[in-house]
Amino acid sequence: MIQHLEREAMPSSQQSELPVLDFQTIEFYVGNAKQAALYYNKLFGFDIVAYRGPETGHRDSCSYVLRQNNIQFVMTGALQPDHPVAQHVHQHGDGVKDIGFAVSDLNQTIELASRRGAVVTHSAASLADEGGVVHKATIATYGDTTHTFFECEGYHGVCEPGFEPRHLPANPVGLQRVDHIVGNVEKGRMEHWVRFYENVFGFRVFRSFDQSDISTQYSSLVSKVMSNASGTIKLPINEPAEGVWKSQIQEYLDFYGSPGVQHIAISTHNIIETVDALRANGVDFMTVPQTYYDSIAERVGEIREPLQALADLGILIDRDEEGYLLQIFTQPVQDRPTFFFEIIQRAGSEGFGKGNFKALFEAIERDQARRGNV
């Protein structure tokens, strides 16, 4: 029997919070930005709204800006083999390079972050064009991943100076906003990165999951969710734990070549319509056995959505004291078994689907075994 020992950590009292407001742009480094942009346009319903490349005076890389409701992704690819983006892709495969945050005051943010020990990889810069000014700066986090702070107040251009508008609308699938972004770090390093988000960002531990929560017969991991006080930004951090099989987190680390972003969870107001549309577009999802749904009504009680529709689409359900949530996970979206997406609809619950961990991780283990990585 798995013990469910979710703990609320004590509120952090040590550091004031950086003036971060919400997630902003998430930048991916990819092998072929043109094709990646169309993948997210055609499969995931993102409009292509802006472009930067040689035609706009940017000689060594191409970037496409994708937008759907409150979510903005940038796909960037290199044009030369010695470009840092090409080296990043060589090392890691396609993946998330930068998790951007909107801030109310860039100078205050970067000054505080650096005083608290953050490594500044790009110091504060102000970019201007006819749309106005964007102030930005970047710090390092786990692996080669970075956080860029954007102060865009009053900017009227399409993304940031240097980009020109593109207009390739998508058939929308109802993705609304980034709910949380999960990082995988090496065994023994989770506490280091928890302290980083506490000390540099002034975030607190919102949830903790230990081995008794997240283990199957074969493998295991531990996780802590870092959050700002308003709850707009949630950053879970996973590390592998010992098991009979290789932890799914260790498989990620082996193939990404370092710590990095494991998944982005995106919210929707209607997960049945969203997942139906994504499946029709060709997105493939992790599957749980139909036995998962056998005793689901007893486990989750009354919910608004028809259970059969959820079962048909493979959507998972979890309930806690605050309400319930519906969630589903895609297969990795690139060749390497690294980064994937979660689609989530919350109905009161602020949790992460703890009741689904076992079914979900058994599904991941089956896929891991098929790849020969156990």
**Least separation in angstroms between CB 327 and Fe ion:** 7
Q: Residue 198 or 342: which CB sits closer to Fe ion? A: 342
**3-class secondary structure per residue, 296-329:** HHHHHCCCCCCHHHHHHHCCEEEEECCEEEEEEE
Task: Write the single-letter amino acid at 198.
Answer: E
> For residue 31, what are the CA distances in angstroms to 46, 301, 333?
19, 46, 13
Cα dist. 358→98, 277, 354 in Å?
Answer: 30, 27, 8
Q: How far is the CB of 236 from Fe ion (least distance, A)?
A: 6
Q: How far apart are CB 287 and Fe ion at their closest, in Å? A: 17
Q: Which residues are at the interface with Fe ion (CB under 5 A)?
A: 265, 342
| Residues whose CB is less than 8 angstroms from the CB of residue 256 and which lie 6 or more positions away in sequence, other chains included | 92, 93, 95, 143, 184, 336, 338, 339
- If the CB atoms of residues 265 and 300 are measured against Fe ion, the closer one turns out to be 265
- Rg of the chain taking only CA atoms, in angstroms: 20
How many CB atoms sit inside 10 A of residue 59's CB? 9
Q: How far is the CB of 263 from Fe ion (least distance, A)?
A: 6
Nearer CB in complex with Fe ion: 28/209: 209
Least distance in angstroms from the C-beta of 219 to Fe ion: 17
Q: Which is nearer to Fe ion, 135 or 207 (CB)?
A: 207
User: Is 47 or 342 the residue whose CB approaches Fe ion more closely?
Assistant: 342
Q: For residues 265 and 310, which CB has a smaller minimum distance to Fe ion in the complex?
A: 265
Compute the least distance from the CB of residue 217 to Fe ion, in Å: 22
